[in-house]
Structure formats: structure tokens, C-alpha cells
Amino acid sequence: MMYRMLPRRGALKTLAALFIAPLLARPAAASSPPTTPPAPGMALKRLQKWECTNEECEPYVYDPSVGDLNVQDLDNPIPPGVAFEDLPDDWICPICADPKRDFEPLGEWVEVWVKA
Ligand SMILES: [Zn+2]
């Protein structure tokens, strides 16, 4: 009977490697960004993460290296490399819909390549 279990466990391991390995690799990649531009005309920008202060929120953190949903305009999501300060004035927290003024700087910085 055990032989039936083996292929399944193998498949689970493969799935774990596919989905978990990239997640684990992300923080390392963020802390040591590439030193050469990924494309000509790109510049490395150091941007701060901002946290939503609504207590009912998760709390939600805006990460400029990831960008975000744009709840007000779903067809135009925020691309990576946009500083919190440069988000549209009508941008709102995608979790609780609080406005930008309810966010505060988290004191954590990320480096992201942007068009110079
Ligand atoms: Zn929020």
C-alpha cells in the first residue's frame, strides 16, 4: 500500500520547490540588488516602505519595489519603482480604503531599478 503514497509525496515536494523556493529567494534578492542596470538608462533608487495606520487593517505596507493595485483605477496598477510620495493623490489603501495621509513611513528601505 505504501507505494501509492510515494509518488504523491514526491509531487508535493516538487510543488513546494516550485512555489516556496522563489518566495524564500525574494528577501535575499531585495537586500542585495544587482549592481548593474537591468537595462540601459535605468538607475537604482532607494525608496521607503509606508505602513497603513488603520488599526483594522492587516497592517498593510506599501512596498515601492513591488508597486501596488490602484483601487481607484484597476486598469492602471502602480508599477514597481513608484515612491509613496509619488502615488496619485487619490490613491487609497487597497485593504481598508484609507487615504494616503493615514500612512506613515515604516523606516524600512528598498532599492529598485527605475528609468532614469
Ligand atoms: Zn489600510
**Ligand 1 centroid – CA 30 distance (Å):** 24
Burial 58-88 (b: 16+ CB within 10 A, else e): eebebbbbbbbebeeeeeeebeebbebeebe
Ion ligand 1: protein residues whose beta carbon lies under 5 Å: 52, 54, 57, 60, 93, 95-96, 98
**Ligand 1 centroid – CA 62 distance (Å):** 10
CB of 71 within 8 A of CB of 92? Answer: yes
User: Where does the pLDDT of residue 15 fall: very low under 50, low under 70, confident under 90, or very high at 90 and above?
Assistant: very low
Residue 48's closest CA among 83, 95, 1? 83
**Ligand 1 centroid – CA 111 distance (Å):** 23
The CATH code of the domain that includes 109 is 2.20.28.10
46 shares its domain with 25: no
55 shares its domain with 95: yes
> What cell was used for 43?
538607475
**Ligand 1 centroid – CA 26 distance (Å):** 24
Our count of domains for the chain comes to 2
**Ligand 1 centroid – CA 16 distance (Å):** 31
71 shares its domain with 16: no
98 shares its domain with 61: yes
* Residue pLDDT, tens place only, 53-99: 999 998 899 999 999 999 889 999 999 999 999 999 999 999 999 99
3 shares its domain with 50: no
87 shares its domain with 47: yes
Average pLDDT over residues 104-114: 95
**Residue-range definition of the domain harbouring residue 3:** 1-31
Q: Is residue 79 part of a domain?
A: yes
48 shares its domain with 97: yes
> What cell was used for 64?
515601492
Angle at 33 between CA 32 and CA 39, to 5 degrees: 165
pLDDT of residue 60: 94
User: Where does the pLDDT of residue 11 fall: very low under 50, low under 70, confident under 90, or very high at 90 and above?
Assistant: low
